[in-house]
Amino acid sequence: MNLHVLDAFIEFGFMRRSLIACLALSVSLTPLGVFLLLRRMSLIGDALSHAVLPGVAIGYLLSGMSLLAMGLGGFVAGLVVALLASWISRVTQLHEDSAFAGLYLGSLALGVTLVSLRSTGVDLLHLLFGSLLAVSHQSLVFIGVISTLTVTLIAIFYRAWVFESFNAIFLTLKIKRLPSLIQAMFMAIVVMNLVAGFQILGTLMTVGLMMLPAIAARCWSNRLPIMLGVAISLGFISSAVGLTWSWYQSIPAGPAIVLVATLLFLTSVFFGSHKGIFPVRKMSSHCSTSKE
């Protein structure tokens, strides 16, 4: 890599903090995206990213740009929407995704309305799309704690989440309430990570770093450990390239990172060795056969 590309990270502390924060988020967000993909809940992350906005807005109205207040408010709001959507799907004939759709649209509108009561356009853009300058030492510690906690819980409950993702009926037969408890805990962790990501990526862009590397990883393998490793690696690449691009082109960090992740996703769709349109492995095998 050209040394000039690294100048921003060498000279400016906030750029280094932003990079470390994004790498930490990649370690925790992308595995959660893989599990959401396995559960066929890819769009639930998007719904929850909108659902946290009212809580973030209320924390902002009460305490200004307080990380603790906005983070706590976002976590409570997202968790309430997740639990309410699950309850609605159980007591009605609606599917859970329909319940999420109805709730997150209202949450998004309410959040934007609340933020606009006291904010300038810059403040609103900061909450929706993130800001490089927002990553303080306090934010970095907060993201590090959330990422460490998430990785620890994934390691502890890995087998349970895999079973619940593929065969929740089996777990229901073994222990009646276990799948519901596992799902509630999983959704709480997803909300927690979305709240951690809004400081750097914004509430609307965090889900991009969560889902795009996960979906791209599915194009390269159907083995879960490999998918997790590929997803984290693609998250690292998206973060580093996106932050560099955002600095030198003066564009918001969140959209830049998500755009890079989108390019990696499209590349995987075309050339992924497992589900790609033009799989690399098949192309190389064809070339070898032709030479023979």
Q: To the nearest whole percent, how much of the chain has pLDDT over 90?
A: 26
Calculate helix-pair angle for 53-63, 44-51, nearest 10 degrees.
20
In the chain, how many domains are there? 1
pLDDT band of 227, cuts 50, 70, 90? very high
The pLDDT of residue 13 is: 80
Whether 37 maps to a domain, the answer reads: yes
From 195-204, 226-235, 278-287, the region with the lowest mean pLDDT: 278-287
Mean pLDDT of 144-172: 81
Using an 8 Å Cβ cutoff, are 226 and 278 in contact? no
Spatial distance between the Cα atoms of 78 and 72, rounded to a whole number of angstroms: 10
Whether 243 maps to a domain, the answer reads: no
Interval 88-126: pLDDT, tens: 887 887 777 788 888 878 888 888 788 777 655 445 566
The pLDDT of residue 3 is: 54
Mean pLDDT of 154-167: 81
Whether 71 maps to a domain, the answer reads: yes
The pLDDT of residue 94 is: 76
DSSP code string of the chain: --HHHHHHHHH-HHHHHHHHHHHHHHHHHHHHHHHHHHTT-TTHHHHHHHHTHHHHHHHHHHHSS-HHHHHHHHHHHHHHHHHHHHHHHHHSS--HHHHHHHHHHHHHHHHHHHHHTT--HHHHHHHHH--GGG--HHHHHHHHHHHHHHHHHHHHHHHHHHHHHH-HHHHHHHSTTHHHHHHHHHHHHHHHHHHHHHHHH-TTTHHHHHHHHHHHHHTT-S-HHHHHHHHHHHHHHHHHHHHHHHHHHT--HHHHHHHHHHHHHHHHHHH-TTT-SS-HHHHHHHHHHHH-
pLDDT band of 283, cuts 50, 70, 90? very low
Whether 133 maps to a domain, the answer reads: yes
The pLDDT of residue 290 is: 47
From 156-165, 217-226, 261-270, 280-289, the region with the lowest mean pLDDT: 280-289
Calculate helix-pair angle for 206-218, 224-249, nearest 10 degrees.
130
Whether 217 maps to a domain, the answer reads: no
Whether 202 maps to a domain, the answer reads: yes
Whether 290 maps to a domain, the answer reads: no
The pLDDT of residue 126 is: 64
Whether 263 maps to a domain, the answer reads: no
Mean pLDDT of 233-257: 88
The pLDDT of residue 1 is: 47
Supply the range of the domain harboring residue 159. 3-207
pTM for this predicted structure: 0.83
Mean pLDDT for the chain?
Answer: 81
- Is residue 192 over pLDDT 80? yes
Q: Which residues of 204-223 are buried (b: 16+ CB within 10 A; e: fewer)?
A: bbbbbbbbbbbbbbbbbbee
Q: Which CATH number fits the domain that encloses residue 36?
A: 1.10.3470.10
